[in-house]
């Protein structure tokens, strides 16, 4: 495989970053006085800190290599992940769900399930989340190793272990606080390290209009440059999916399932200093989320436009005869960046992967410690023992995710792997959360068996298609579909099955008394969770602005 | 003993951008006078100089504003 050399200056930039993150972990360790400091960063963060960390925890391998690679593969439809596939869910979390989470002072999302339902539902979700987190953590390691392998020609094993040990070092020292600090540094490094690619790509090709017109000329039958206008017929867009799959699978189930229930991102909001700040966390993050396509989608489109021009000399790497879509972004860095900037670009990628992995590990150590270890194994554990367990589980989590990284290598593209995992765990959980938070008569047994049915059906559908037990078109309701389209539709069916079983079992099993559910279910709560604020300080005001921008962006790129 | 208070995250963000931007900017100036044999696409624009300079400005401002702040 072709490799790109680094100069001494590039190495200095990379070493400055590694020194910084380890130094921050060391600096913050003296402020970790108790387990709340370690697991929830002391609950003292502002909405800017919590909001940027909320976004950056998700800004790992997915948004960088994976999304640029997927734009090359599927076209502009990938922007749905940033807009309809994120913003409505983030706003819903801030406006409707965060008061239930934050006001109950829970330490994790499974902790809410214990209060709303029972211990067994909490443990079930805790175990599923812990497994999912380790799988996703593995993909961050895999992506990191890909970058190190591509740019530095490092051995896969050395790359994986070097990155994993660094993350284990700083998360083990200072827990969530150091994860949040490095996530925010990563946010700025990504913008400074990668946005320049979009600027230089536009300068080289001429204009954004020229990029789109070149791609349209090349791919006249299948649109790679529209968001909705080619969604009525799956054969007319690169993702081979209809608008129904996007709206129901991605926009509703996968998006709400991820952004409103995944503890990895919600943990950042739990670190906020008060309820208004916690509610502002996802709303503030939504503005930055909407801006990310100007790095990743644009870079993917530039890569397509360059690769169809025979004179550009730009070709994606090949791995065993298959196109390596994830090589698009590293190759653009190599194309445009002189020494020094190459180091910054590589550091931005590394920072994204390491922060993404640190996010997974810090969420894993919290769920393991509170929802599995303290809940099942050692119910009388002291605070100092839990702090020790948090550090031990950080190291163990990193070691397990090393194993999952090798599994991730076998998938054709990063995002397909991620969405497959999310459709197993998050999609059914969203049904449980939605029903539990808004309908008081949903029972603990209903939630438990609904979750079991949703998760197992999603996994079974995945395996059935993989081993050709039945045709994928039964799930996608279409003769043509991509892996991504199948993920969207599988998530939708998992949600429907989970919701259906939850409701049916709830009709025949014992309900919790209403007085036990006050503060946990909409309509039964003391409705005013928070004191009234002037208009410019109200989360709802900013949510409306965010929604308006979302609509404008969708119309602009219709 | 006086209790040490935590520096805000903006202090560290400013510092790392300042340091990295400074290295990129200075290296860009060096490359201006000693250009490498193999040129990158659009190297004539010298993106390292203006982009590194922008990072120094942004990072320097954040560092200066937050250098005396602490988190309670």
Q: CA B39, CA B58: separation in Å to the nearest integer?
A: 28
Q: What is the pLDDT of residue A278?
A: 92
Q: What is the pLDDT of residue B10?
A: 92
Residues of chain A under the 70 pLDDT cut: 1-4, 41-42, 61-63, 147, 150-152, 234, 238, 410-419, 472, 476-483, 525-531
Q: Which of A20, A180, A339 faces B16 most closely, judged by CB atoms?
A: A20
Q: Which of B23, B54, B71 faces A340 most closely, judged by CB atoms?
A: B23
Burial classification of residue A200, based on how many CB atoms lie within 10 Å of its CB (0-12 exposed, 13-18 middle, 19 or more buried) = buried
Sequence-distant (6+) residues with CB within 8 A of A311 are none
Residue B5 lies in a domain: no
Residue B51 lies in a domain: yes
Q: CA A132, CA A426: separation in Å to the nearest integer?
A: 9
Q: Is A182 on the interface with B (CB under 8 A)?
A: no
Q: Is B72 on the interface with A (CB under 8 A)?
A: yes
Measured between beta carbons, the chain A residues lying within 8 angstroms of B36 are 338-339
Q: What percent of chain B has pLDDT over 70?
A: 94
pLDDT beyond 90 at B38: no
Measured between beta carbons, the chain B residues lying within 8 angstroms of A28 are 6
Residue A199 lies in a domain: yes
Sign of CA dihedral A107, A113, A117, A121: negative
Give whole-number Cα distances, A315 to A303, A310, A386, in Å: 9, 9, 51
- DSSP string of A467-483, one letter each residue: TTSS-THHHHSSS---H
Q: Is A389 on the interface with B (CB under 8 A)?
A: no
Q: What is the pLDDT of residue A535?
A: 80
Q: What is the pLDDT of residue A1?
A: 46
pLDDT beyond 70 at B1: no
In degrees, to the nearest 5, what angle opens at C-alpha A469 toward C-alphas A467 and A470?
A: 120
Q: Is A344 on the interface with B (CB under 8 A)?
A: yes
Q: Which of B31, B36, B42 faces A336 most closely, judged by CB atoms?
A: B42
Chain A residue with CA closest to B14: the answer is A185
Q: Which of B17, B40, B71 faces A337 most closely, judged by CB atoms?
A: B40
Q: Is A20 on the interface with B (CB under 8 A)?
A: yes
- Eight-class DSSP state of B40: P
Residue B24 lies in a domain: yes
Q: CB pairs below 8 Å between A and B: how many?
A: 89
Please report, for chain A, how many H helices and E strands are present, in that order.
23, 2
CATH number at residue A378: 1.20.1730.10
Q: How many domains does chain B have?
A: 1
Q: Is A9 on the interface with B (CB under 8 A)?
A: yes
Q: Do B9 and A335 touch (CB under 8 A)?
A: no
Residue A458 lies in a domain: no
Residue B6 lies in a domain: no
Q: CA A224, CA A75: separation in Å to the nearest integer?
A: 4
Q: What is the pLDDT of residue A38?
A: 78
Residue A239 lies in a domain: yes
Domain limits for position B46? 12-66
Measured between beta carbons, the chain A residues lying within 8 angstroms of B45 are 200, 203
Identify which of A303, A298, A394, A296 has the alpha carbon closest to the alpha carbon of residue A348: A296
**Does this complex have an ipTM over 0.90?**
yes
Backbone φ/ψ region at A167: left (φ over 0), alpha (ψ -120 to 50), beta: alpha
Q: What is the pLDDT of residue A218?
A: 82
Q: Which of B9, B31, B52 faces A49 most closely, judged by CB atoms?
A: B9
Identify which of A79, A87, A84 has the alpha carbon closest to the alpha carbon of residue A63: A79
Shortest Cα distance from A386 to chain B (angstroms)?
Answer: 24
Q: What is the pLDDT of residue A109?
A: 86
Chain A residue with CA closest to B19: the answer is A16
Chain A residue with CA closest to B72: the answer is A44
Shortest Cα distance from A375 to chain B (angstroms)?
Answer: 32
Domain limits for position A285? 8-407
Residue B2 lies in a domain: no
Q: How many domains does chain A have?
A: 1
Q: What is the pLDDT of residue A411?
A: 64
Q: What is the pLDDT of residue A416?
A: 63
Measured between beta carbons, the chain A residues lying within 8 angstroms of B51 are 192, 196, 341
Shortest Cα distance from A344 to chain B (angstroms)?
Answer: 8
pLDDT, mean of residues B30-56: 90
Residue B23 lies in a domain: yes
């Amino acid at each position: 495989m072709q490799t790109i050399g680094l100069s001494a200056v590039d190495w200095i930039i990379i070493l400055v970053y590694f020194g910084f993150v380890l130094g921050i972990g060391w600096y913050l360790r003296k402020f970790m006085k108790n387990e709340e400091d370690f697991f929830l960063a002391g609950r003292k963060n502002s909405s800017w800190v919590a909001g940027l960390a909320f976004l950056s925890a998700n800004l790992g391998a997915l948004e960088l290599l994976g999304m640029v690679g997927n734009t090359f593969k599927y076209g502009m439809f990938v922007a749905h992940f940033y807009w309809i596939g994120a913003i409505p869910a983030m706003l819903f979390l801030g406006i409707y769900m965060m008061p239930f989470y934050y006001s109950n002072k829970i330490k994790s999302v499974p902790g809410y399930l214990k209060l709303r339902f029972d211990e067994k539902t909490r443990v079930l979700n805790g175990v599923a989340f812990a497994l999912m987190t380790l799988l996703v953590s593995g993909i961050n390691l895999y992506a990191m190793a890909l970058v190190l392998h591509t740019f530095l020609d490092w051995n896969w094993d050395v790359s994986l272990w070097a990155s994993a040990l660094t993350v284990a070092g700083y998360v083990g020292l200072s827990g969530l606080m150091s994860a949040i600090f490095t996530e925010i540094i990563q946010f700025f490094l990504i913008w400074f390290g990668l946005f320049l690619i979009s600027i230089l790509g536009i300068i080289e090709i001429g204009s954004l209009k020229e990029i789109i017109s070149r791609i349209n000329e090349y791919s006249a039958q299948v649109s790679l440059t529209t968001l909705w206008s080619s969604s009525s017929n799956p054969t007319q867009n690169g993702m081979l999916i209809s608008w129904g799959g996007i709206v129901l699978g991605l926009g509703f189930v996968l998006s709400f399932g991820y952004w409103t229930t995944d503890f990895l991102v919600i943990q950042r909001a739990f670190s906020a200093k008060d309820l208004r700040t916690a509610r502002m966390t996802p709303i503030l993050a939504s503005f930055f989320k909407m801006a990310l396509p100007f790095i990743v989608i644009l870079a993917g489109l530039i890569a397509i436009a360059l690769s169809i021009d025979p004179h550009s000399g730009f070709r994606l790497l090949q791995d065993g005869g298959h196109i390596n879509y994830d090589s698009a972004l590293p190759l653009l860095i190599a194309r445009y960046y002189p020494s020094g900037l190459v180091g910054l670009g590589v550091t931005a990628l590394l920072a994204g992967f390491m922060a993404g992995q640190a996010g997974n590990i810090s969420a894993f150590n919290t769920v393991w410690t509170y929802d599995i270890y303290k809940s099942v194994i050692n119910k009388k554990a002291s605070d100092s023992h839990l702090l020790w367990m948090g550090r031990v589980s950080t190291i163990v989590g990193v070691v397990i995710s090393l194993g999952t990284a090798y599994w991730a290598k076998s998938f054709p593209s990063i995002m397909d792997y991620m969405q497959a995992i999310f459709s197993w765990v998050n999609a059914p959980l969203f049904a449980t959360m939605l029903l539990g938070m808004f309908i008081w008569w949903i029972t603990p047994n209903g939630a438990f068996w609904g979750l079991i049915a949703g998760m197992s059906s999603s996994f079974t559908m995945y395996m059935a298609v993989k081993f050709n037990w039945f045709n994928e078109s039964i799930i996608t309701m279409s003769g043509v579909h991509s892996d991504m389209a199948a993920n969207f539709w599988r998530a939708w069916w998992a949600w429907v099955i989970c919701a259906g079983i939850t409701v049916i079992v709830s009709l025949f099993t014992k309900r919790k008394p209403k007085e036990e559910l006050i503060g946990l279910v909409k309509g039964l709560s003391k409705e005013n969770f928070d004191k009234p604020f002037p208009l410019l300080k109200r989360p709802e005001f900013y949510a409306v602005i965010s929604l308006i921008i979302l609509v404008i962006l969708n119309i602009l790129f219709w | 003993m006086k209790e040490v208070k935590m520096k805000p995250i903006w202090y560290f963000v400013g510092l790392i951008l300042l340091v990295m931007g400074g290295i990129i900017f200075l290296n860009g100036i060096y490359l201006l006078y000693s250009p490498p044999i193999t040129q990158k696409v659009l190297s004539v624009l010298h993106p390292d100089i203006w982009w590194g300079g922008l990072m120094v400005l942004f990072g320097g401002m954040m560092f200066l504003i937050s250098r005396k702040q602490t988190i309670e």
